[in-house]
Amino acid sequence: MSEEHQATQTQEYEREPVPESELKNWKSFLGMYAGEHAAGTEFMIGPLFLTAGVSAFDLIVGLLLGNLMAVLSWRFLTAEIAVRHRLTLYYQLEKICGKNLVTFYNLANGILFCFLAGAMITVSATAVGIPFDMEMPKLTDTTPNNITWVVIVLVVGALIAVVAARGYNSVSKAANWMAPLIILAFVACGFVALGQLGVSSFSEFWALWGEGSEPFPGQIKYTFWHVVLWSWFANAAMHIGMSDLSVFRYAQRPQSAWTTAAGMYIGHYMAWIAAALLYAVYLKSPEAREFLANNEAPPVAPGPLAYNAIGIFGILAVVAAGWTTANPTIYRAGLAFQAIIPKASTFWVTILAGTIATIAGLFPAFAMKLLGFVALYGFILAPVGAIIVFEHFFAEKLGFASNYAEVSGVKVNVAVLLAWGLSFGFFYFISWSQGVFLSFLTLPAWISCGVLFVLLSRYFNKL
């Protein structure tokens, strides 16, 4: 059998439980989560926190608490349900919601994941472009600004899509290979930046942020609770939104989800702070001071920031970091699209997802506005996860049908549609009309959706 044919026949158990013979131990997830979350987003998010004017306490303590809440969400919600049913998010939702309703959700889910992966392709491209003296995108850029940028993004995106299309094993192996390199690079960047900033004590380190500052032009001010809730819900779609059912269905036990702590505290803690230090070095440069003097936000380009600290190793690390984030994200998007057209090859729908992600990567806006975009996509997708959580824990106790669409044959579960629509619409209106940051409303929208689903299911879903 040819290598191409083997690739297109990748078995991912999209519409059946993962068999026991395919289960993986905790080490497989450790590499994947360390690689995915000590990755491309971190090179963007750390500096973006500085543009939001955070204080030392907000950043250091806020991240500590928010990331803890994320780990607990993966362990006691996502993994518990994943190991019990061993189904992808998309197939499990189909059983509950009905084919027509879940098709709309899968399309939205897949596209949003593609946009996120596109931001990571953007990150890698900023590193690849350094040897070509490429003009880097600015914080305010939304469209491609030169042909070199376009060519590099297309090449990087194509390579990432092919790896993701080869299935979970390829994604996991790529993460395991690259994770140590990326983690070492973040540690090195952090220490080099501390040296460049002249920091020799913890008090001097704390003083870098001090009591915070005014946000840069075009950015909003982040407080302690902005940091806590944003870091908790940065991956809301994956944990309370249940997208990582598709990953942890391979776990032997739910305890494997403790490995997400590697991603949260190496990536979303150490790496964010290290990346913020790189940006703090850049802010002292004449170029950055000129931007600020003109009331403009200095650009956030991960490639040059890392290169300035650790040279060629920094370029390689940024490329790998974008790669290891985009790979599993495109893999998840491919599963979403495959659920819409189940007869299609998983390989080719993942290539489709990679193509969309690459096109998105051409537009720097997804990366430069990453804090706001991540808050939005988590807010949209997370409440649907409440449907699965509330059914899993309360269906039998409260006397309403599990997998109602499957057993009744309906194409649209009205209880699900109304629960998501009402909770999303109400809380998004609050955000829009009152200017409330979306991460403050993600948990209320999630709880509201779950409660409404239970109440409406008891009324509509009688067998």
Indicate the pLDDT class of residue 7, thresholds 50, 70 and 90.
very low
C-alpha to C-alpha distance for 359 and 341, rounded to whole angstroms? 22
| In a domain? residue 342 | yes
CA distance 340 to 182: 35
Q: Give 227 or 325, the one with higher predicted confidence.
A: 227
Reading the block at residue 386, the tokens are 């409440």
Position 398 pLDDT exceeds 50: yes
pLDDT digits (tens, 9 = 90+) for 437-447: 899 999 999 99
Longest dimension (CA), the chain: 70
Q: Is the pLDDT of residue 96 over 80?
A: yes
First-last CA distance in the chain:
49
CA atoms within 13 A on the CB side of 130: 21
The boundaries of the domain holding residue 351 are 25-382
Is residue 81 situated within a structural domain?
yes
Mean predicted confidence (pLDDT) in 296-319: 84
d(CA 76, CA 234): 18
Is the pLDDT higher at 48 or at 454?
A: 454
Question: Hey, CA dihedral for 340, 39, 239, 359, is it positive or negative?
Answer: negative
Whole-number Å distance between alpha carbons of 307 and 134? 14
Considering only residues 68 and 26, tell me which one the structure prediction assigns the higher pLDDT. Answer: 68
Domain count for the chain, please give it: 1
Rounded Cα distance, 324 and 160, in Å:
9
Tell me, yes or no, whether 207 lies in a domain. yes
Distance of alpha carbon 265 from alpha carbon 288, whole angstroms: 30
The C-alpha atoms of residue 135 and residue 119 are separated, in whole angstroms, by 17
Report the CATH number that the domain containing residue 127 is assigned in CATH: 1.10.4160.10
Task: Identify whether 16 is part of a domain.
Answer: no
Between 213 and 422, residue with greater pLDDT: 422
pLDDT (tens digit, 9 = 90+) per residue, 213-262?
888 877 789 999 999 999 999 989 889 999 899 889 999 999 999 999 99
Higher pLDDT, 338 or 29: 29
Task: Please check whether residue 6 lies inside any domain of the structure.
Answer: no
Closest by CA to 105, choosing from 350, 335, 326, 431, is: 335
pLDDT in tens, 58-92: 999 999 999 999 999 999 999 999 999 999 888 89
pLDDT band at 56 (very low <50, low <70, confident <90, very high): very high
pLDDT digit string, tens, across residues 254-302: 999 999 999 899 889 999 999 999 999 988 888 888 888 888 878 778 8
CA–CA separation, 310 vs 303, rounded Å? 11
The C-alpha atoms of residue 367 and residue 321 are separated, in whole angstroms, by 14
The whole-model pTM stands at: 0.84
Q: What is the pLDDT of residues 182-194, one digit of tens each?
A: 888 889 999 999 9
Asked if residue 402 is part of any domain, the answer here is no
Beta-carbon contacts of 409 under 8 Å, excluding residues fewer than 6 positions away, are: none
Flag whether pLDDT at 9 surpasses 90: no
> What Å distances lie between residue 345 and 194, 335, 339, 341, CA to CA?
49, 10, 11, 9
Q: What is the mean pLDDT of the chain?
A: 86
Model pLDDT, residue 171: 60
Q: Tens digit of pLDDT for each residue in 100-141?
A: 888 888 888 889 889 988 888 888 888 888 888 888 887 777
- Give the pLDDT score at 133: 81
The answer to whether position 130 is within a domain reads: yes
Between the ranges 20-29, 314-323, 400-409, 422-431, where is the mean pLDDT highest?
A: 422-431
Tell me if 397 is assigned to some domain: no
pLDDT for residue 8: 39
Number of Cβ atoms within 10 Å of the Cβ of 51: 24
Band (337; pLDDT cuts 50, 70, 90): confident
